Structure 1
Amino acid sequence: MKTDRQIKNISRLNIPWKTQDPFLFGTYHHERYPGGDDNLGLSHGLEGRNKGNDFSGKDGWSMYHGSHIPGFPSHPHCGFETVSIVTEGMVDHSDSMGAHGRFGDGDVQWLTAGNGINHSEMFPMLNKNANPLKIFQLWLNLPAKSKSATPYYQMLWSEDIPKLTLKDSHQKNTILNLISGYYGDKISLSPNPDSWAADPNNHVQIWTLDMEAGATFVIPPLEENVNRSLYFYQGDTVTIEEEVIESDHMVELKSEKEIVLHNGDQRGLFVFLQGKPIAEPVVQYGPFVAESNEALKKKLKEYRETEFGGWPWSTSETVHDKNYGRFSVNPDGNRTDK
């Protein structure tokens, strides 16, 4: 029996995704929203849903916590970071710092919650006929020394994210979106300054992989004891060593091994996460993350008293002008339009 394997574990891909330290949480939403109305909400299909808490997937979509506009109205975070990757459709962001924007079609938002922030993530129904949405959200933990960091908001625009087209020996392509980390001599855009990913010695990688049918792709070896997770969320099969793995599975991989992916007969889509574990205690209560029960109680008390700065917007389901394209406004008022 072979014991020196590249694969540590294979498990069914459920929502939320199982993650490894330094990641806390991962999820993928693929929504087939219908046409919207003049207020960027849904014009029909709301009957029979649990208003404000709809995770039903009825008719191929959910409202989540939105009542008229789908999405996640204002809610708090502290002690970690969110990395939101939108591959199709648009998301409207607003937060308690005053930062806001609209992003999608390959853009990534990196938000350090740190000492505490409120934000909303709404899905504006900008089109009259159909509004498909594909979004991944990852929660990346912060070490105890950074859990009290000042919140920080950054947009990584699709046009700026390094995209590598890698050909194998048979000229089959794999497209790698380098959201965080490096591949060969290519380096990602800078992560947020207080992030665990900001130190290259922590080897944090966030990639999306788009493999042509029959393509081969190599994940290079690294030092031992770095956590690696491969999420195979769309396709047919992928073979690693001699193990044939069907889509909708997560594979935990050894970091000291070269990993060779042989894609099957269909286009294969993957998310790859890697990082040296923070290896500190984690105490979590929903979107509140701390390093101890005592620290968690203090943060909950602080939120009850301060609401992490409150909510400067007129509604918890904030969306922006329907005529806007992709844009971002930082807390200092500096605006970028794409």
Structure 2
Amino acid sequence: MSEQEKISNHEIIYAIQPIEFRLDLKDPFLFTAHHIDHFPIGKEQMQPVTPPTDDKPYRMYYSETGVPGFPEHPHTGFETITFVESGYVDHFDSLGNCGRYGAGDVQWLSTGNGIEHCEMFPLLHTDKENPFELFQIWFNSSPQEKTEDPAYKMMWREHIPHVIETDAQGVKTDIRVVSGEFKSQQALERPKNSWAHAKENKVNIFMIQLDPHAELTIPATTATSNRFCYFYNGPTLEIEGETIPFKHLVELKSDVDIHLKNGTEIGRIMWLEGEPIGAPVAMRGPFVLNSDEELNTAFARYRQTHFGKWPWESTAPVFKRDQPRFASYNKGEEVEYPETAS
């Protein structure tokens, strides 16, 4: 009997939790928000034509324009890693960066010593509904990283590495490697002041799609890492033989291989693991520091400086409907489109 076979499911699966919206995680992850919004047809100015209904709900955040989204707001001391699975996001920030990104793209924003930004969800389609699905990971920064300048990086879907595994029956699994590595496939580089940048921190973030009845083994990582699997699409998933229902978060032992077996429909998983930072966490709204004293200092600094002058005419700007996906850095000094991104 192998060492893996000697370990019971109880020792591999630490917890299973149903999820509605927020995934509560462990160091170096803070939490993840999973937005699913059934936005209707859009008006000419990209607002919804009808309010939410019981059968097609959406969480609406009104701005001065009526376009869904989060108008200008501050962050400091952590990172937001934003995955758009369907729909579009228009980003603007106090550094003069901006961009539009869509389904399959990932935005990595290190908020460092302070930044203001807005995230708007323009409803581009006027002839059909505008379904929207977004994950946003709040990922902690080390004490040193909290003092560094903020940074904004786009990871276009065309450039995010994939590992495709196909068994003898042609059943396929697709692993999008957003951070870290999977079976020697390296992710794109993360911002240099991110805890995920250093290889030794073993921050692996995978978006996994499994065909019906597909099986996959995730290799072991370090014994000190924290590890989570969020099963968010499909009727059932087996982890080490235990059935996991739809929209459940599973905390797992990190230093063993984990065997997954999908059910009868396409399954989708967010996989998160990484070495903990190990520093105290003091969190108040969108400010994440290491003590109450540091929080008070940061709020006082924000009241004085607003983390820099907001360079946009509106607190909730959006691009024109026909704007393709792109990223503009440092007030337009560098403009990047997916086909030319490196």
Same topology, TM > 0.5? yes
Deviates more, 1:233-242 or 1:134-143: 233-242
Alpha-carbon displacement from aligned partner over 1:69-112 (angstroms, at most 9, x marks no partner): 00111110000000000011110000001100100111100000
1:66 equivalent among 60, 63, 67: 63
In structure 1, stretches of 5+ residues that fail to align are 47-55
Residues in 2 aligned to 1:266 and 1:298: alpha-carbon distance in whole angstroms: 51
Partner of 1:49: none
Partner letter of residue 289 of structure 1? V
SS in structure 2 opposite 1:144?
Answer: coil
Structure 1 equivalent of residue 75 of structure 2:
77
2:36 is the alignment partner of 1:30: yes
1:164 and 1:176 in contact (8 A); partners too: yes
1:336 corresponding residue in structure 2: 336
Between 1:242-251 and 1:62-71, the stretch displaced more is 62-71
- Find the aligned partners of 2:214 and 2:252 in 1 and give their Cα distance: 19
Distance 1:175 1:3, change over 3 A: closer
Distance in 1 separating the partners of 2:208 and 2:296: 40
Structure 2 distance, partners of 1:322, 1:91, is: 12
Q: Give the match for residue 99 of structure 2.
A: 101
> How far apart, CA to CA, are the structure 1 residues paired with 2:263 and 2:84?
25
Q: What is the identity percentage for the equivalent residue pairs of Structure 1 and Structure 2?
A: 38
The residue aligned with 2:303 is 304
| Correspondence list, 1:1-338, <5 A | 2=8, 5-45=11-51, 59-66=56-63, 68-128=66-126, 129-331=128-330, 333=332, 334-338=334-338
Does the Cα contact within 8 Å between 2:173 and 2:210 map onto a contact in 1? yes
Matched to 2:205, the amino acid is I
CA pair 159-57 structure 1, distance change in 2 beyond 3 A: farther
Match of 2:3 in 1: none
Aligned length: 329
Deviations 1:191-211 (A, max 9, x none): 011000011100001111111
CA distance in structure 2 between the aligned counterparts of 1:257 and 1:169, rounded to whole angstroms: 25
Q: Is the 8 A contact 1:81 1:113 kept in 2?
A: yes
Q: Which moved further from structure 2: 164-173 or 263-272?
A: 164-173
Residue by residue over 1:193-232, the C-alpha shift from the partner in whole angstroms, topping out at 9 and shown as x without a partner, is 1000011100001111111110001100122111100001
Local SS of the residue matching 2:311: coil
TM-score, length-normalised on structure 1?
0.93
User: In the alignment, what sits opposite 1:51?
Assistant: none
Deviation of 1:163 after TM superposition, in Å, equals 1.4
Structure 2: state its 5+ residue gaps: 1-6
Q: Following TM superposition, by how much is the alpha carbon of 1:141 offset from its aligned partner in structure 2, in angstroms?
A: 0.3
For the residues of structure 1 that align with 2:144 and 2:18, how far apart are their CA atoms?
34
Q: SS at 1:197's partner residue?
A: coil
RMSD: 1.7
Give per-residue Cα distances to partners, 1:34-61, cap 9 Å, x unaligned. 1112222223327xxxxxxxxx977321
Once the two structures are TM-superposed, the CA of residue 146 in structure 1 deviates from its matched residue by 0.8
**Which amino acid in the other structure matches residue 172 of structure 1?**
V
Q: TM-score, normalised by structure 2?
A: 0.92
Code of the residue aligned with 2:268 in structure 1: it is L
Kindly provide the amino acid, as one letter, of the partner of residue 80 in structure 2: T
**Cα shift readout 1:18-47 (whole Å, capped 9, x = no counterpart):** 11110112011111211112222223327x
- TM-superposed deviation, 1:6: 1.9
